[in-house]
Chains A and B, each alone.
Chain A
Amino acid sequence: MNPLLSVRDLTLLYGPEKGCQGVSFDLYPGEVLGIVGESGSGKSTLLSVLSGRNRPDCGQVFYHCPQTGSIDLYQASEAERRNLLRTQWGFVEQNPRDGLRMNVSAGANIGERLMAQGVRHYGQLRQAGLQWLKQVEIDPSRIDDLPRTFSGGMQQRLQIARNLVSSPKLMFMDEPTGGLDVSVQAHLLDLLRRIVRELQLAVVIVTHDLAVARLLADRLMVMRRSRVVEAGLTDQILDDPQHAYSQLLVSSVLQP
């Protein structure tokens, strides 16, 4: 099987050991990769260069599209990159306010990617909106409500629906459960796990919460001071950490 995403020696530094450097990995279709580490270790920087939002200092990101072949993300034109970002890829922000259009209805938020792809049929957009609201367990009768009238958990689910409508192959998530209380978090994690399995999504998820990583991720990368210090299967890293920092991270988790 060919990898979906190949990353080679990716580096973006804002200062010595600020940012990320020398990151290489392959991500396969349907695989969930977790990136864990403390605040300031470069997780979010890595995610932003992976997802085409920030140009790296050096290194390459290859996306192997089953239909159109391989694309070098930072050699491709701006138009190609944008097209990739809104069709084959999705991005779930930590704060749903950044990922949603707060001044238009839930239905319009879900339909936006379709409209950008040239769907010009209101009935079809409406249908997609209702269907995806149901998929993410939001009452379809709220299709015309503004996202600001939704609770935090619902906003996060709406953001996920808005990304999934174009049937992406790859999703990036930046602490999708941050800022939610534990029961809402559990609900969202259940939903994410179901969707990832059903749609065979490949996911790169950044989190500082090891429980989230354990639940969702197949593989983990532990980051510290801009470098990946350990990478491997999730259970292997969480149960038998090798690097001193991984050991510290695992032992720091509070047990209720």
Chain B
Amino acid sequence: MSQHAESNHIVEAGYNFAYLDEQTKRSLRRGLLKAVAIPGFQVPFGGREMPLPYGWGTGGMQVTAAVLGRDDVLKVIDQGADDTTNAVSIRRFFTRTAGVETTERTHHASIIQTRHRIPETALRSGQIMVFQVPIPEPLRFIEPSDSETRAMHALNDYGVMHVKLYEDIATYGHIATTYAYPVMVDQRYVMDPSPIPKFDNPKLNMSPALMLFGAGREKRLYALPPYTRVQSLDFEDHPFELPKWEQSCAFCHSTESYLDELIVDDEGTRQFVCSDTDYCSQRCNEQEALA
């Protein structure tokens, strides 16, 4: 296989920059511009086949391919971790097809493609978050018809969103939706923030970073421009609450980050560690430096 060097990285021959052809990327960018112009609105796009199955991040990869430039620094996370299969293979995909620099450091990255998390490290202006979205339609669970859900979005007819929250309280005594928690964007469109934990919902509100969402199977794009108001839906007498837990991270002892529960031996011993690996290792390094 012939290979040639480009911007210090090995790029596979025979591929256009970032895999997709230029016309496809242009059509995606047009869709993204529309999505940014109408925050929270779902824009259809001509989704392409990607060399991996639906559900593995094809939507996010197409968005990343469309916005990626040669000077960008890419970070890919899966459930907060840089070292899981999905993250490693998508990162390697863009290294091989675009030759861009990659990083695990949140604040070094200019584009962060993510599955199901927003990094703990505060995002800054100029960064772009790209979310992989399985089901973009927040009304889908209660209204199976697509023409009907589109009419509901158009007419701001969102009463049924609260039916789901009502059901939660009636069944469990509290709002038991813990991920893909629906949000109201700029007091106009109800949006599914992709299956991030509701712990991450406040990070969407007035974020300095641009947030782009791509659903590959459903072929929809939507976006949150920087500094957009994003409210989580709730009831007056059951307000939106962040989950709390007593454990701290076993490695970095953080009490503020989102924790994963691990079973570490056959006796069922549990350990809690940060889901955001970069945040955790940064803290560990700092603590070692101080010690």
| Interface presence of B169 (CB below 8 A) | yes
Which residues does chain A contribute within 8 Å of B159, judged by CB atoms?
112-113, 115-118
Which residues does chain A contribute within 8 Å of B236, judged by CB atoms?
120-122
Binding stretch for chain A, among B19-27, B117-125, B160-168: B160-168
| Interface presence of B157 (CB below 8 A) | yes
A117 to B156, CA, bound (A): 11
The answer to whether B157 and A125 touch across the interface, beta carbons within 8 angstroms, is: no
Which residues does chain A contribute within 8 Å of B170, judged by CB atoms?
105, 107-108, 126, 143-144
A115 to B155, CA, bound (A): 15
Where chain A touches its partner, the secondary structure class is helix
The answer to whether A122 and B155 touch across the interface, beta carbons within 8 angstroms, is: no
Min CB gap A86→B, angstroms: 8
Contact of B235 among A105, A107, A121 (CB under 8 A): A121
Which residues does chain B contribute within 8 Å of A116, judged by CB atoms?
157, 159-160
| Interface presence of A209 (CB below 8 A) | no
The answer to whether B238 and A79 touch across the interface, beta carbons within 8 angstroms, is: no
Q: Considering only CB atoms and an 8 Å cut-off, how many residues of chain A contact the other chain?
A: 23
Contact with B along A94-114 (1 / 0, CB 8 A): 000000010011011001110
Within A71-111, which residues are at the interface with B (CB < 8 Å)?
Answer: 78-79, 82, 101, 104-105, 107-108, 111
Which residues does chain A contribute within 8 Å of B142, judged by CB atoms?
101, 104
| Interface presence of A16 (CB below 8 A) | no
Interface centre among A101, A116, A121, A126 (most CB of B within 10 A): A116
Which residues does chain B contribute within 8 Å of A69, judged by CB atoms?
none
| Interface presence of A15 (CB below 8 A) | no
| Interface presence of A256 (CB below 8 A) | no
Nearest to B175 among chain A residues (CB) is A122
- If A79-B156, A104-B167, A144-B171 are given as contacts, then 6 extra A-B residue pairs at C-beta distance below 8 Å, sorted by A number, are A79-B157, A112-B159, A115-B162, A116-B159, A122-B236, A122-B238
